[in-house]
């Protein structure tokens, strides 16, 4: 098992990409703190892991709140004694609207969760990694952070910011044997992309089916990706297999280019 004796914090671990990463990491031997804002969702994933012979705890917290993050890191250290892997997966879609119609409140909240939350989790998880001279940080960004994304300015800008944070931390932390990378998913099949498609269809005055077809046609492989595709790359980067990869953004999108 590639993550035996490793401890991972996974934010947004109750569903979608976060759930897939948590289940795979647990299967590979990691002990996990699952973070999320929906208690029932993260508890369900933790229970699934524990029933299958793994070890996981659920910790409800808003990662945009500094004190919440401090307490979450303390809980992980109290329960497991160390932190080896931080997966900054929590994120929100933000509004679907032209820039001129985006409220400051929606802009700020999108940044608070998507970017500031990742910063805060890293800020408080890293001291232990620095002390033990080993660790891995994975930031789940988006292809929306690799190019222009009409009607999604807060989301796109916050995901661009995650890539800048990734590259900067990699340069700062390499001397401590800490790898920092980003994964940029494209359209991932599931409820979240369905909601995004619905809002986009309303914005451009087209059917959901037309918008979805356009999105799929924008990929080289002509299909959406699965949560498990992202989890597989996360495992690779968090394991010894990825020990000499840092400061990179890996695009898993079926070949989508914005």
Asked about 149 being catalytic, the answer comes back as: no
Q: How is residue 170 written in tokens?
A: 């990699």
Extract the runs of DSSP E, i.e. beta strands, from the chain: 7-10, 31-36, 55-60, 85-88, 135-140, 178-185, 249-252
CA distance 185 to 144: 9
Q: How is residue 13 written in tokens?
A: 């671990």
Radius of gyration (C-alpha) of the chain in whole angstroms: 18
**Which of 59, 124, 155, 176 does the annotation list as catalytic?**
155
Long-range contacts, 162-166 (Cβ 8 Å, 24+): 162/88, 162/114, 162/115, 162/118, 163/139, 163/249, 165/115, 165/118, 165/119, 165/122, 165/139, 166/137, 166/139, 166/141, 166/247, 166/249
Please provide residue 10's backbone torsions phi and psi, each rounded to the nearest 5 degrees. Answer: -125, 110
Please provide residue 136's backbone torsions phi and psi, each rounded to the nearest 5 degrees. Answer: -145, 130
Q: Which residues are catalytic?
A: 155
């Amino acid at each position: 098992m590639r993550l035996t004796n490793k401890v991972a914090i996974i934010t947004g671990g109750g569903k979608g990409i976060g759930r897939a990463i948590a289940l795979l990491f647990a299967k590979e031997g990691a002990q996990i703190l699952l973070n999320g804002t929906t208690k029932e969702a993260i508890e369900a994933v933790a229970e699934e892991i524990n029933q299958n012979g793994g070890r996981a705890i659920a910790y409800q917290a808003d990662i945009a709140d500094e004190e919440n993050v401090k307490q979450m890191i303390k809980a992980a250290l109290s329960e497991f004694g160390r932190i080896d892997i931080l997966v900054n997966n929590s994120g929100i879609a933000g509004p679907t609207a032209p820039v001129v119609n985006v409220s400051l409140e929606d802009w700020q909240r999108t940044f608070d969760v998507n970017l500031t939350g990742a910063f805060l989790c890293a800020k408080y998880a890293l001291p232990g990694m620095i002390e033990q001279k080993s660790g891995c940080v994975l930031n789940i960004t988006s292809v929306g952070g690799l190019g222009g994304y009409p009607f999604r300015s807060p989301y796109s800008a916050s995901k661009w910011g995650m890539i800048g944070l990734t590259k900067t931390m990699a340069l700062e932390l390499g001397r401590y044997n800490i790898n920092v990378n980003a994964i940029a998913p494209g359209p991932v099949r599931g409820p979240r992309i369905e909601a995004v498609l619905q809002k986009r269809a309303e914005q451009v005055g087209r059917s959901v089916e037309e918008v979805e077809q356009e999105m799929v046609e924008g990929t080289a492989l002509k299909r959406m990706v699965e949560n498990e595709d992202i989890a597989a790359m996360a495992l690779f980067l968090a394991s010894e297999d990825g020990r000499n990869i840092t400061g990179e953004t890996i695009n898993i999108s079926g070949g989508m280019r914005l």
